[in-house]
Amino acid sequence: MAFDYDLFVIGGGSGGVRAARVASGDHGARVGLAEESRMGGTCVIRGCVPKKLMVYASEYPGAIADARAYGWDVKDGGFDWLKFRGRLWSELDRLEAAYRNTLKNAKVTVHDTRAEIVDAHSVRLATGETITSQHILIATGGHPVVPDIPGAELGVTSDAMFNLDRLPGKALIVGGGYIASEFACILNGMGVKVTQFYRGAQILRGFDDEARGHVSTAMQAAGIRIHCGTNPLRLEKVDWGIQVTASDGSTEVYDLVLWATGRAPNTKGLGLEKTGVQIGRRGEIVVDDYSQTAVPSIFAVGDVTDRVNLTPVAIREGHAFADTVFGANPRKADHELVASAVFTQPEMGAVGLSEEAARECGPVEIYTASFRPMQSLFAGREDRVLMKLVVCAKTRRVLGCHIVGPGAGEMIQMVAIAVKMGATKEDFDRTVAVHPTMAEELVTMRKPVRVA
């Protein structure tokens, strides 16, 4: 059978675009790609990139205050949200154009429309056209989840945060993950009065307990009201805003309510139920180590598979898929020891096991350093940095590293190389410190604070 394409990709996010580019540009496959929204996907258009730019914008009040402490004659001015938003939109347009040029240069045919799978080798576009392909790759990502409570439609999700017409005076963030915590810090830095509800005992579940406790304490010291063990029960529109009734019995009115209560894979409406592709209990597409589904011609990468939901991981999965299927180089994407960063204020970086997870594997030694960094200490701020190493007591291998402080994301990227290589505590000890830096503490901690 003659197919229209060797590969048809559904989804123009980071994973899908990488797979399409490599399959076509590097391996010579005939590739088509369908994207119903903007090219670049969640990360570029409504996630990581615009959010990080908002993080930068929200940090300037602190930088201005520090500048005065360092002798600069500077004065605070008002934050022009609309001016910032305009620059933000322009940057997203630039990035989308770059993604499109990448596909064009790789000779990928782009279809700006929704696609639905008909069978193992056929895709129907929303335009009515049916396309055949030897292989199909699903890279549709995920979407924010909104709780099923009365008045939930009065709230917004993270997708809408970059398009607000004005900043709220008072906001409620619902959720305790990295998206909720990052937006709580962003809005707080921009002068919004922020309250955060989380149903669990502590925000940032899944990260090291000591590290996330450090972040929570700093967020509250900055003025963010964090209410753990609390859920909204209903939302009601009133003349002066959105009235929220909470599970702790309180009632309060906010200008904005942000739902950051998790994300779910985009698998509905793709026609998968007709193909034999297996769907997991969370709505994710079930794949093997090579991203292949139960249907041999259909593959999936990225958040739609709900493995490690990070953009660089989706890119690795897409690249590995293209090399495996079209490059005669079978390889798996490596999901072990993936570093991550949470762009709260203070920032947190992590790689490897938390102290709690490591204890379940055997005896461990814990090394920590907590201190006031030079830059903010001089400015008179009370900020504290946390550096933490989790070490296997038997092999001496560093099982995990957790950093809370300015530049934690930048530092953890480099530490991840050492941890990935299997570095031991003694390897860290043999490394000469760079002084004066915060990161030097990672190689100067000599005695464990506890052994478990």
Phi, psi values for residue 181, rounded to 5°: -70, -35
Say whether pTM exceeds 0.85.
Answer: yes
Phi, psi values for residue 296, rounded to 5°: -55, -30
Which residues make beta-bridge pairs with 244? 235, 252
Phi, psi values for residue 11, rounded to 5°: 120, 120
Q: In the structure encoding, which two tokens stand for residue 144, read together?
A: 């924010």
* pLDDT confidence bin for 77, thresholds 50/70/90: confident
Angle between helices 14-21 and 311-326 (to 10 degrees): 30
Mean of the per-residue pLDDT values for the chain?
A: 97
Which DSSP string corresponds to 147-166?
--STTGGGSEEGGGTTS-SS
User: Would the pLDDT of 1 be above 80?
Assistant: no
CA atoms of 131 and 442, how far apart (whole Å): 55
User: Would the pLDDT of 417 be above 80?
Assistant: yes
Phi, psi values for residue 427, rounded to 5°: -65, -40
**Order of all β-strands in the sheet with 225-228:** 156-157, 256-259, 170-174, 193-198, 225-228
* pLDDT confidence bin for 452, thresholds 50/70/90: confident
pLDDT in tens, 62-71: 999 999 999 9
Mean pLDDT over residues 309-321, rounded? Answer: 98
Which DSSP string corresponds to 354-416?
-HHHHHTTS-EEEEEEEE--HHHHHTT----EEEEEEEETTT-BEEEEEEESTTHHHHHHHHH
| CB 179, CB 160: distance < 8 Å | no
Angle between helices 209-221 and 178-189 (to 10 degrees): 20
- Given this model, what pLDDT does residue 76 score? 83
pLDDT in tens, 204-250: 999 999 999 999 999 999 999 999 999 999 999 999 999 999 999 99
Which DSSP string corresponds to 93-157?
HHHHHHHHHHHHHTTPEEE-S-EEEEETTEEEETTS-EEEEEEEEE---EEE----STTGGGSEE
pLDDT in tens, 125-144: 999 999 999 999 999 999 99
Mean pLDDT over residues 339-344, rounded? Answer: 98
Q: What is the DSSP letter of 285?
A: B
pLDDT in tens, 282-302: 999 999 999 999 999 999 999
| CB 405, CB 438: distance < 8 Å | yes
User: Would the pLDDT of 51 be above 80?
Assistant: yes
Burial degree of 404 (CB within 10 A; 0-12, 13-18, 19+): buried
Inter-CA distances, 279 with 283, 317, 431, Å? 6, 19, 47
| CB 30, CB 5: distance < 8 Å | yes
- Given this model, what pLDDT does residue 75 score? 87
* pLDDT confidence bin for 38, thresholds 50/70/90: very high
Mean pLDDT over residues 7-23, rounded? Answer: 98
CA atoms of 367 and 358, how far apart (whole Å): 13
Catalytically active residues are: 435
User: Would the pLDDT of 272 be above 90?
Assistant: yes
Q: Hey, how many other C-beta atoms are within 10 angstroms of the C-beta on 41?
A: 29
- Given this model, what pLDDT does residue 203 score? 98
| CB 293, CB 300: distance < 8 Å | yes
| CB 219, CB 210: distance < 8 Å | no
pLDDT in tens, 348-378: 999 999 999 999 999 999 999 999 999 999 9
